[in-house]
Amino acid sequence: MLYISTRGDPARKHFCEILLEGLAPDGGLYLPGHYPKVDAATLEKWRALAYHELAFEILSLYIDDIPAADLREICRKTYTEEVFGTRQIAPLKELDEGIFLLGLSNGPTLAFKDMAMQLLGNLFEYELARRGEELNILGATSGDTGSAAEYAMKGKKGVRVFMTSPHGRMSPFQQAQMFSLPDANIHNLAIEGVFDDCQDIVKAVSNDLAFKRKYRIGTVNSINWARLVAQVVYYFAGYLQSGARVVSFAVPSGNFGNICAGHVARMMGLPIQRLVLATNENDVLDEFFRTGVYRVRGSADTYETSSPSMDISKASNFERFIFDLLGRDGARVKQLFGEELARNGRFALAEKVAEARDTYGFASGSSTHADRLATIRDTHRRFGVTIDTHTADGLKVARQHMQAGVPMIVLETALPIKFAETIVEALGHEPERPAKFRGIEDLPKRVTVLPADTSKVKDFIAAHCA
Ligand SMILES: *Cc1c(COP(=O)(O)O)cnc(C)c1O
């Protein structure tokens, strides 16, 4: 399998070449040159597989530069009951008639990002050892991504993590999750500023090519294809567990990474009727699927909500879907994302809305704080299940797109304990806390507070790359 850029660059690359890269050199995102098709007989054979075996079968369609035995072993050691809490890894449970929850949040940091990031950690360690190289991962987080990256990379040979976060702005639970890690290759940098300051610093460091090369700076953000393809696996796992002939999925969405994996699964032939995209008040994507207008928001129109991992002003993976929607016309994508967005902050594809719906199966909706509270309350009262705020957005929108005879699988993207404040607001009591997280707020914290100053962050990195 060879990978291409969404902006038409003629270069063709193998999986391990793009594994440690971010954007393609022309500013586009990498996608496979085609989507391998999985027929009904193969799908039936896969029904009997354990999750790690299913992961191997799917990943091996996309990775031809890691020997099969090695890839099989990487999948086996990633998707274990010990790390993900259940034998199924992504267990499906019925909530209501025809509505299911796919449990993706039982990994080390209690959010679905572990599903991909844990694999990425093992792939990075493998590939860096093979090349005899090291990598210093620099990231910015307001919560879920940073902790998932740290728990995936902790103790890995050849990798260091420098994770910036806005000082004092993450929840006590999220701070404790990250700052209590004792591993020497993990560095927490609390920046005196907001999340945008952290992102600006990461960008500034990455734009200093001499520094980037000298200190081998890399990232693990959601545009990484390896993360995306790892997420394709649980769409298959959810479908196979349902036993249905065809299903729909509802996906709480921010940067369009998770649901893009659903799009890939559908392109591979997985019988998905609808891909229901749910946003919170930051409804950039819902607006696109309703009107065909993609309009990036300014910071004044980007809201802080109670489902904060979906608080986006633009969706960094969206370009991948638009590339497919435009018949893989890289020149057109380059014009829209490279030029029109930069000039106008928006583009319009109104003539493509029907195709996105009818050919690609997309539907969408948005959810508000009041909707989240009502959905959390209703789900708790009727089924005795406490869901998190993001999953609540997904469930609320899922209910608007039910079709007779088609099970709806809602992706559970985090556990409620991560967003306890809103659960208390909805239910009047704290959500249950898994045993291994009791008392983490009291553990010693390893964090360095720095001003929002790129040179200070560079100094810190230089001093800690022995
Ligand atoms: C990251 C995240 C999302 C959004 O996923 P995207 O891939 O960015 O669309 C939703 N819910 C939770 C809990 C997350 O951490």
Which pLDDT belongs to residue 21?
85
How many CB atoms lie under 10 A from the CB of residue 131? 12
Ligand 1: nearest atom to the Cα of 390: 11
What is the best residue among 255, 263, 318 to mutate for testing ligand 1's pocket, by most ligand atoms within 8 Å of CB? 255
Ligand 1: nearest atom to the Cα of 252: 10
Which pLDDT belongs to residue 195?
84
Edge-first strand listing for the sheet containing 99-103: 92-96, 99-103, 408-412, 247-252, 272-279, 362-366
Ligand 1: nearest atom to the Cα of 144: 15
Q: pLDDT tens string for the chain (466 positions)?
A: 999 999 999 999 999 999 998 889 999 999 999 999 999 999 999 999 999 999 999 999 999 999 999 999 999 999 999 999 999 999 999 999 999 999 999 999 999 999 999 999 999 999 999 999 999 999 999 878 899 999 999 999 999 999 999 998 888 888 999 999 999 999 999 999 888 889 889 989 988 989 999 999 998 888 999 999 999 999 999 999 999 999 999 999 999 999 999 999 999 999 999 999 999 999 999 999 999 999 999 888 989 999 999 998 899 999 999 999 999 999 999 999 999 999 999 999 999 999 999 999 999 999 999 999 999 999 999 999 999 999 999 999 999 999 999 999 999 999 999 899 999 999 999 998 888 889 999 999 999 999 999 999 999 999 998 6
Token output for 271: 């019988």
103 Cβ neighbours under 8 A, 6+ residues apart: 86, 90, 91, 92, 93, 412
Which pLDDT belongs to residue 256?
97
- Please state, in angstroms and rounded to a whole number, the distance separating the CA atoms of residues 72 and 70: 5
Q: Check if the beta carbon of residue 38 is closer than 8 Å to that of residue 60.
A: no
Q: What is the pTM of this model?
A: 0.96
DSSP 317-347: THHHHHHHHTTS-HHHHIIIIIIIHHHHSEE
Ligand 1: nearest atom to the Cα of 258: 7
Rounded to 10 degrees, the C-alpha dihedral 447/449/452/454 comes to -60
Which residue, chain included where needed, has tokens 């027929």? Answer: 39
- Please state, in angstroms and rounded to a whole number, the distance separating the CA atoms of residues 119 and 9: 28
Amino acid at 92: L
Which pLDDT belongs to residue 454?
97
Q: 309 C-alpha to center of ligand 1: Å?
A: 5
Note if 77 is an active site residue.
no
Rg (CA), the chain: 21
Residue 235 to residues 99, 158, 251, 358, 423: CA-CA distances in angstroms? 15, 31, 11, 20, 28
Q: 388 C-alpha to center of ligand 1: Å?
A: 12
Q: 232 C-alpha to center of ligand 1: Å?
A: 15
Which pLDDT belongs to residue 169?
83
Q: 374 C-alpha to center of ligand 1: Å?
A: 21
311 Cβ neighbours under 8 A, 6+ residues apart: 254, 280, 282, 302, 303, 304, 305
Q: Of 136, 263, 285, nearest to 211 (Cα)?
A: 136
> 3-state SS of the chain: helix, strand, coil percent to 5?
50, 15, 35
What is the best residue among 101, 235, 258 to mutate for testing ligand 1's pocket, by most ligand atoms within 8 Å of CB? 258
